[in-house]
Amino acid sequence: MYRGSRKKEKGGMGMNVDKYRILVLLSQGDKLSEIARKLGMSQPTVSFHLKSLEEGLGVPLYVMEDHRVVLTDAGLNLASYAGEIVQMEANLQKKAQEYKECREGSIHIGTTLSPGIALLPGILGKYRESCPGIHVQLESGSARTIIRKTQEKELDLAFVSVTGSLPSCFEVRKIREDNLVLIYPMALKSFMEPYGGGEADYRGLGQFPFIHHSPESSTRKMTEAFLERERMVFRNTITADNIFIMKELVRRGAGISMVPASFLEEDEQGIGVLSVPGTELRKEIVLICHKEYYRPPAAERFLECVGNWKHTGKSS
């Protein structure tokens, strides 16, 4: 039951409930002057709302006795229902405030494999500290799938590793470069040293088995463009659809491969890394949001968290 004074709400919600507050306070024995003071309005305005409620319900709610408003049986009975409406409105305002302050809610984030491994754990760690009540739903997939779902507004935002332009419907924030590098087993370290220069002839690497990404992978297409440019031919190849398997194959000496740099640890045991030149090997991780999609407060707070994470140098 409503007993306290009313704070002035921002927006149009409060005035719709004032008439019910007035009925509740009358049932508790308050005079019109007291109600006007509690609700922060003039006494004529209180009388107007009371009359409006009576006309809307179509039953007499009060009578005047000795210049005092006295509720009828209908008014007293309906006051209990009015109290429930007032309480529901208070609960609604409280819950809305929790969403505004990111104490409750959810966020749906899409990611391709590379940023999902290299970036999201660190960013989400910071996000959980500031928004512990938010449920985070992560969805991983190919770049094509994640871009499509973000375009169709199924995702609040997404991290993707891309090589070219994106649809104009997106707001795009660059996070970091994620170029392809050549990886090899450490047993080949001395053999690989001459290939560190920009003018190296990479055709000599054709004598080793090459581990390819799956055919539908964008990294596979980038790799093939590089191999074609360098006129590299491998007679012995392996195809794998899991980059962790590819890394382990390289580590165990099964061949060489090309992977995004973000998949490698700073001190990758058993694997050598060779940077190779070529614009076709350049990728970058970006954060995309649909320009016309309403972003809930939880998503806005996540974007702030990403910005703070970048400024602290964690993305380098």
At 5-46, the pLDDT tens digits run 444 444 444 447 999 999 999 999 999 999 999 999 999 999
Quote the pTM value.
0.64
- Which tokens belong to 227? 């191999």
Q: Residue 98 has what pLDDT? A: 65
Angstrom distances, CA of residue 241 to CA of 135, 202, 216, 218, 245: 30, 25, 9, 12, 8
Task: Tell me, yes or no, whether 6 lies in a domain.
Answer: no
Say whether both 302 and 172 belong to one domain: yes
Say whether both 22 and 138 belong to one domain: no
| Structural domain ending residue among the three candidates 47, 74, 100 | 100
Task: Tell me, yes or no, whether 150 lies in a domain.
Answer: yes
Say whether both 113 and 170 belong to one domain: yes
Say whether both 212 and 252 belong to one domain: yes
Tell me the C-alpha distance between 178 and 193, whole Å.
23
CATH of the domain at 260: 3.40.190.290
Say whether both 79 and 171 belong to one domain: no
Domain span at residue 240 reads 180-281
Say whether both 65 and 197 belong to one domain: no
Say whether both 196 and 271 belong to one domain: yes
CATH of the domain at 126: 3.40.190.10
Task: Tell me, yes or no, whether 316 lies in a domain.
Answer: no
Residue 233, pLDDT above cutoff 50:
yes
Q: For 62-79, how does the pLDDT look when each residue is reduced to its tens digit (9 = 90+)? A: 998 888 899 999 999 999
Say whether both 114 and 253 belong to one domain: no
Task: Tell me, yes or no, whether 5 lies in a domain.
Answer: no
**Residue 197: pLDDT band by 50, 70, 90 thresholds?**
low
Say whether both 35 and 88 belong to one domain: yes
